[in-house]
Chains A and B, each alone.
Chain A
Amino acid sequence: MTAAAGVQHNRYWTNTKRLFGSQEGILLLLLMLLIIGVGLYNPRFTTERNLTDIFNANAYIAVAAIGISMVIITGNIDISVGAAIGVLVALSGTLAVELTAAGLPGPIVLLAAWIAPLFGGMLISAINGLFVAYLNIPAIVVTLGTFSILKGGLILIAGGSTISALPDGYSLAQQDLLGLPVPIWVMAVLTLVAFAWMRWSRTGRSQFAIGGNAEAARLSGIDTRRQLMVTFIVAGMFYGIAAVMFATQYNTIQTVVTPGLELQVITASVVGGVSILGGIGTVIGSTLAAILIRTIGAALVFVDISPFWLRAILGVLILVTVLADVVRRRRQERM
């Protein structure tokens, strides 16, 4: 039938338009332009090794951004993400060293040091989630509080010491798999898994509903509190994974919270197209944004700009992203 064919064709066209009108499409385009542009200016930039390094270095930010994107899509925020990762990194390193010292066999030690942060992250986030979902305290206040507690608590307990003498095989993030560093694999697989989860699972879809219109979600029979709680806990698991990736990338671990880490994670999420007002965004966007941010940072050196300007560039990037979104929405409203 010609009418059906027309509809089919039309849909194809809208889908194409949708890709390049979407945040993900724009980010991909920007990323490619940036790599090609800087590569032409300075061919050393596009060596395989350099590109791998770029993708590798921010992988843990991308993984944490997956978690926080879920939280932001529900219309909440998590300021404590940086402090949580800091605490979990210390937890992983301490377990690795202490359990080895206690004489446990190597594989068990490694497994514990790699798995415990996941549960730790879920626990921390569950506490945040409890306050937000069940006590109706705004997420920004709760996580501001847990941020301070975690940050202060880490200093109180670990005192900013450095953990070294990590057991053999601990450095997961330094290993390669099929020619690519493990963090890149983790980032790619988790992004796809999270994307699928958010698109095809009930909880995933309800995140968009809660962020878009929480009251309506409740009236649709969605148990918004439970779903919020689940979202926070899942996000916490991603923080845990990010912490393991962070902890295992060097041979020593600093037991301090990286200043401004929460900002890097939130920035990746927001630049990736996740609306701070909730209800909109994808984790593919946030991962692409994390890569883009790292690429910009790496490119600065190759085009002879001081890396100290990186943060200013990020600020402009966030502003431009949000402005573009506003313009797009106003255009849509007018239609």
Chain B
Amino acid sequence: MTALLELANISKSFPGVKALEDVHFSTDAGQVHALVGENGAGKSTLIKVISGVHPADSGTIQMDGKAVKFRSPHEAQAHGIATMYQELSLYPELTVAENIFMGHAPMRKAGPAQVIDWGEMNRRAEEILHSLNIHDMDVRRKVGALNVGNRQRVEIAKALSLDAKVLIMDEPTAALTESDVAKLFEIVRLLKERGVAVIYISHRLIEVFQLADKVTVLRDGKFVDSKPVSETDEDDLIHMMVGRTITDLFPKLPSEVGEPVLEVKGLNRHPHTEDVNFTVRSGEIVGMAGLVGSGRSETAQVIFGILQPDSGEVLLQGQKVHIKSPTQAMKLGIAYVPEDRGTQGLVREMKIRENLSMAVLDTFTRFGFVIKRNERKSGEELIEQLNIMATSGEQVVNKLSGGNQQKVVVGKWLASKPKMLIVDEPTRGVDVGAKAEIHRLMSELAQQGLGILMISSELPEVLGMSDRVLVMRNSRLVGEFSRAEATQQNVGAAMMSDQIATAAEAVAAVAQGDDA
């Protein structure tokens, strides 16, 4: 039997980067095919080749045994390839039905003209949604009024309206709540029954084992292997993804725990932070675990002055403070390495030096003018200290790898010599080597007497690095564990809660724990 979609010897280069080299990929109808690899492994580029966004430099694509060429998204669509991107590609001001049929609305004759048939469009949109077991969505509503889970369902309906034979899902669960993940899985299974080939990309390996029939691993733009899911396991996959087995990733060094640096009392900010109380002492790394959407990042942003609290107190070294802006938080000695490096952590179009000095530029001034020599020197010291791989401080941050970009964010805040460091997902999308370096650095900082609050979705990271673990769920702190108490079972259970957790998330978190 010939494969539905088969890519062979695909290569693609961008200026300065070989994104894909001689990659193979093939999938059959009715198959869920997982595509895994570290960030920068080439998954996104491969998807873009399949969906016609970036035509390949060389290699062949066949559908049903016939050679095809996708020079534009339109051509790929015409061959039945639909893509759901990470950033949802919807129009908030248009209705659900219009979004589903954008670009291929049903037409009817009105005298001499071809016009959009709104009635038919609404009817067919409803039909498609019903076929996906979605019965509670008004197709005349604007998409902007829907939540993320529902928007994603609109995206899937859109793909189906195109009679997609192949549906590419890029990190579909990244922004979803637990119940939405369960619904999504149900839909994927429905699609599979219908004979749609689903290409599924996810960082959560557990999802691969729950959903996929086959898995393909990429590493550094190269094809590593492709095999049925039944013939592999987590360790094997991780081994293929990183090229080595990970041992002892989290070397938390002992440090002396001193006075409280940060005390949070009864902090409220509707709807993500409800009555949050905790303390971080100097020399201590406090892990904050919780699922995406549990209110962790929002709590950190309230402390850092990005969001304003509705009520509650924040004490810094015993002093009550009212933080109204990040500028003020920084001056008080708080640093915040945000969750989203690209949009919050860095100004990527600017140079490394300029990013590193961003929080402390005032200290390099004389009579109000920046003394570039001092700025450059400080930048070079940080590059050295953090082992940032770059040609020089004058390089634009955009050109760095994810791990090195993250080091620049951390470096920026080190320069501000904080007393309290809040890190939000410090190693997301960072390669293994840089991950270890960032962990070592956090350890050293704690030894130097900083208080550190580490927010992370990765249980092994939380368990390995933290002196104490806080758990947030549904906007509240629901558990606190000492290092000794903090086991995968305890923390995992607190994160999920017994009643509402979906199996998917619970197993995912625990399984990630098994990786370590």
Contacts and interface: CB of A to CB of B under 8 A. Distances in A.
Physical contact A–B (CB less than 8 Å): yes
Nearest to B92: A212
A217 B102 contact: yes
Interface string A297-335: 000000000000000000000000000000000001001
A280 B94 CA distance: 9
B93 A280 contact: yes
B94 A219 contact: no
A9 interface: no
Nearest to A222: B103
Interface in B443-489: none
A209 B102 contact: yes
B98 A215 contact: no
A222 B98 CA distance: 13
Dominant secondary structure at the A interface: helix
Nearest to B110: A200
A216 B89 contact: yes
Contacts of A212: 91-94
B509 interface: no
Contacts of A17: none
Given A219-B53, A219-B73, A221-B74, A332 B93 contact: no
Nearest to B51: A219
B85 interface: yes
Interface centre among A208, A209, A221, A222 (most CB of B within 10 A): A221
B415 interface: no
A279 B73 contact: no
A218 interface: yes
A66 B79 CA distance: 38
B53 A209 contact: no
B94 A220 contact: no
Contact of A220 (B89, B92, B118): B89
B90 interface: yes
B105 interface: yes
A205 B98 contact: yes
A212 B103 CA distance: 14
Given A219-B73, A222-B103, A208 B116 contact: no
B53 to A, nearest CB: 7
Contact of B89 (A208, A219, A280): A219
A220 B116 contact: no
A213 interface: yes
Among A196, A212, A332, the one with the most B-chain Cβ atoms within 10 Å of its Cβ is A212
A80 B75 CA distance: 36
A17 B72 CA distance: 42
Given A201-B115, A201-B116, A205-B116, A213 B73 contact: no
20 contacts: A199-B118, A200-B116, A201-B115, A202-B105, A208-B93, A209-B94, A209-B103, A215-B89, A216-B90, A218-B73, A219-B53, A220-B103, A221-B74, A221-B77, A221-B78, A222-B102, A222-B103, A223-B74, A280-B93, A335-B145
Interface of B: 51, 53, 72-74, 77-78, 83, 85, 89-94, 98, 102-105, 107, 110, 113-116, 118, 140, 144-145
